[in-house]
Structure 1
Amino acid sequence: MNKKNVYRPLEDYCAGYMRYLGIAKTERRSYAESIRLLREAGFKELDSFETLQAGDKVYRGYEDRTLLAAVIGSEPLAAAGLKIVGGHTDAPRLDLKPKPLYEKGGYVYFDCHIYGGIKKYQWLVLPLALYGTIVRKDGTKVQVEVGDKPGDPVFMISDILPHLGYDQAKKTRDEFFPAEDLDVLAWTTPAKDGKSETDKAGLVAYLKATYDVTEEDLLSAELEIVPAGMPREVGFDRALIAGYGHDDRVCSFAGLQALLDAADEVPAQTAAILMCDKEEIGSVGSTGMTSSFFENTVAELIERQEKNAKDILVRRALEKSSMLSADVTAVADPHFPDVDSTGNAAKFHKGPAASKYTGGTSKGGASDCSPEFVATIRRIMDEGEVVWQMAELGKMEKGGGGTIAQYMARFGMKVLDMGTPLLNMHAPWELASKFDAWQTYRAYSAYLRAR
């Protein structure tokens, strides 16, 4: 990948991203759409290869939520490692509990559980959509997608009117609406038999007629409540994009598009992207970055290149690798200047923000990138004519946050956080700058194609 970079125009790129974001309302949908785009570009499942040659385009997925895709380089993986852009596709939301249907005051609700870090009040009185997968006992699956197609119903969490909310107004932000009350109105029609106030049986019958599932089938379901609505341009200048799940699909998609654009070039060092799950709850589980998915995938790649593949070759490859941890950061909000680190806050329309470290006041949970790798990235950005900025996530003693960087740095690889700055991060509707999203894609393209 030595030729001069050719980037997609800003508006073309952002239109493609907005289409993707409207489809990728959950990590499973993000996975499915990413696989579709990869296959369209000629990528094939790793299991279909007995050996790997330079220029091969491969991907490996796991549990329909986490994937690694790569263009194999001319240098062996065991000797050169990988160059990775790694982000996540899960986002804060409400999950339906295993027994989600309950009756109260004449209504039927979905009983919900918070996923990731949210401000509870932001989810009240919003049009909501329902997405997910129901798995029957025989293993067959049903996909649920309600709330975004024309003519679809939506769902909602109700709140008390201000006229009667005096007692509520005296409570703190975290107290005034208990988490256990973040339950979604699902069915309000009275029972037809006239004997009971609530018609839960009517909802169960509707689910059976519409999806051919029983209430018991909901025990083995993964159903998510997300904001209803498609991404929209914001402002008369249309310079911003409002959407659900910019964190972190704005970065994951940028990495995906960068790899797709470079797919027909043969890199020296294998170029790869990682789109993982569970980052918002600590990167746990079999699809999170504390699992063995990444190491196992690298081992599978090396096994197809080396006659005598050994574990030490995997370890050497990981240690020789480098990664841009593709995750968002907070943009400076003029209404909340007290949390911004003076001179180190990200700004809109200045490109992606690189963060040498994340974490909190004492850098807890950070990988703390070496200055040598920061210098390398500076050179690559300059050569790629990328507009970017250096920033950190707020003042000390004001909070903090982390990414998957720490879990990748444990292999000894060089890792730097670099992603799109957002307003309203972790809100149902987040704001991203078109220019920043586009420059994020350019940054990842320059990195994957650099010598």
Structure 2
Amino acid sequence: MIDTFNRGLLNFLAASPTPFHAVENMANALIDAGFTRLREGDEWDLQRGGRYFITRNDASIIAFVKGLSDEVETGIRMVGAHTDSPNLKLKPQPDIYTKGYWQLGVEVYGGVLRAPWMDRDLSLAGRVTIRDTAGQLQNLLVNFEDPIAIIPNLAIHLDREANDKGAPNPQEQMAPVLGQCDDDHKPSLNALLLNYIEANYSDLQVDSILDHELSFYDVQRASLVGINKDFIASARLDNLLSCYIGLEAMISAGTDVSTVLICTDHEEVGSMSATGAQGPMLESLLRRWLGSDETVARVLDRSMMISVDNAHGVHPNYVNKHDNNHGPLLNQGPVIKINANQRYATTSETSAQFRTLCADAGVACQAFVTRADMGCGSTIGPITAAELGVKTIDVGVPTFAMHSIRELAGSLDSFNLVAVLKAFYVMKNAPGAAR
């Protein structure tokens, strides 16, 4: 079962180079599992036992089950993750021509670990918005798949201090090279996209390309590595790994209890957008679903959110970067993330609930607290807790090299966390301590 799960995870990671692709793949999986797509602009008629999902801007998705049990009695079981990952995103007018080379200008999206992007085989993917010959606007998914670009390092002979310096400058030293050109025959992104659309959307008549949201990505596929295949190495483990975990749990959940899976965009840049966790997407859905403010308040009081995002595993080469008592190990279970300054939303009550779920599922769990002299990242957990007032816990799979172009996680942890989330989704008693 673990092998089957990991093969599915690896395929999902490979097929999801951008949030747009991840959401399309999740939507297709939900449809195959019997979920019904709803449009936010349509009138809804939600039925008990119904399984539904919505998307927004093609990059955020919420799947939900309107359970057979009354939500006022049981509450709603919620799991949250995010679809975006740090990357190099194309600028609006990216074409650069220098010394006979064609490059594309990029800006850094999120907290990219920049140095690992050098000397990698890169492709380009995302969304393009066009106007067709009938005057209609259309969004098209794009994924070149083949390695079409690279960011070469400067030779050590030309910079003897290179190993002592910091990361490359993203404005001056990280424009990917796509090929060579001359003054009479200059390639362009627009021409490249038109050729792609002609080859992949043969029935579409394009009048003009109006805009794009495109990012470079490493074409090396996700893989199991290590003598005993102990690890998963891949781009975008933060946080597509959590999206896949939540998806697998949601698809297998029953219809007795109301459940939600929300995977939003823009977490890596603060979540403040129409499609981010700090936007109105989840609250809007809950109000349409539950009706009055009175009902929403009563349901949320009996509900709980598990925010799932990767945790920092203790690195064997950097052990001193962790608190001695809180260094999570890969393949030793999901991690409860705790921070006194509310960078994580975990409370003793939600932690106790999660530990109970782990024990009942036969899964070990760990705890992470950052060193007292170091800063701490954050997640959608505190944002969702603040927006909704729902009991929330932050958990995740321990990971190395977070925000690198290729990250590393344990090959057992995701499968074990799915087991815990499956138990959470079918839990009938309202979460929380006795009152």
Tell me which residue corresponds to 1:306.
Answer: none
SS in 1 for 2:394: strand
AA of the residue aligned to 1:114: V
Aligned pair 1:139/2:126, yes or no?
A: no
Q: Within 5 A, what are the aligned runs for 1:210-221? A: 210-211=196-197, 220-221=211-212
Q: How many angstroms apart in 2 are the aligned matches of 1:129 and 1:202?
A: 16
Q: Deviations over 1:109-138 (max 9, x none)?
A: 110010111122111111111001211244
Contact 2:114-2:404 within 8 A present in 1 as well: no
Count of residues in Structure 1 that have an aligned counterpart in Structure 2? 416
What's the CA shift for 1:51?
Answer: 3.2
In structure 1, the partner of 2:31 is 39
Aligned to 1:440: 417
Q: Report what 1:249 is aligned to.
A: 240
C-alpha change, 1:203 and 1:81, in structure 2 (3 Å) is closer
Q: How does 1:26-425 map to 2 (within 5 A)?
A: 26-47=18-39, 50-78=44-72, 80-137=74-131, 138-147=136-145, 152-169=146-163, 172-174=165-167, 176-188=168-180, 190-191=181-182, 196=183, 199-201=185-187, 204-211=190-197, 220-262=211-253, 265-268=254-257, 270-302=258-290, 309-357=291-339, 363=341, 365-367=343-345, 369-392=346-369, 394-410=370-386, 411-425=388-402
% same residue: 24
Shift of residue 424 of structure 1?
1.1
Q: CA RMSD of the aligned region, Å?
A: 2.4
* Greater strand fraction, Structure 1 or Structure 2: 2
The answer for unaligned runs of 5 or more in structure 2 is 199-203, 429-435
**CA displacement at 1:364 relative to structure 2:** 5.2
Q: Deviations over 1:305-337 (max 9, x none)?
A: xxxx32343344334321111111011101011
The CA distance in 1 between the partners of 2:197 and 2:98, in whole Å, is 24
Question: TM-score when scaled to structure 1?
Answer: 0.86
Q: Specify every segment of 5 or more residues in structure 1 that has no aligned partner in the other structure, as ranges.
A: 1-8, 303-308
CA 1:248–1:389: 2 relative to 1, 3 Å = same
Counterparts of 1:49 and 1:449 in 2: how far apart (Å)? 28
TM-score of the pair, normalised by structure 2: 0.89
Equivalent in the alignment of 1:430: 407
Measure, in 1, the Cα distance between the counterparts of 2:159 and 2:298: 62
CA distance in 2, matches of 1:277, 1:424: 21
Distance change (3 Å), C-alpha of 1:79 and 1:51: farther
Task: Indicate how the Cα distance of structure 1 residues 205 and 356 shifts in structure 2: closer, same or farther if over 3 A, else same.
Answer: closer
Q: Distance in 2 between matches of 1:91 and 1:218?
A: 26
**Cα distance per residue 1:359-408 (max 9 Å; x no partner):** xxx625332x221222222222211222222223x312223100001111
SS at match of 1:335: coil
What SS does the corresponding residue of 1:200 show, helix, strand or coil? coil
The structural deviation recorded for 1:207 is 4.0
Cα distance in 1, alignment partners of residues 65 and 371 from structure 2:
39
Distance change (3 Å), C-alpha of 1:209 and 1:87: closer
Q: Find the aligned partners of 2:189 and 2:81 in 1 and give their Cα distance.
A: 38
Q: Retained in 1: the 8 A contact 2:112–2:404?
A: yes
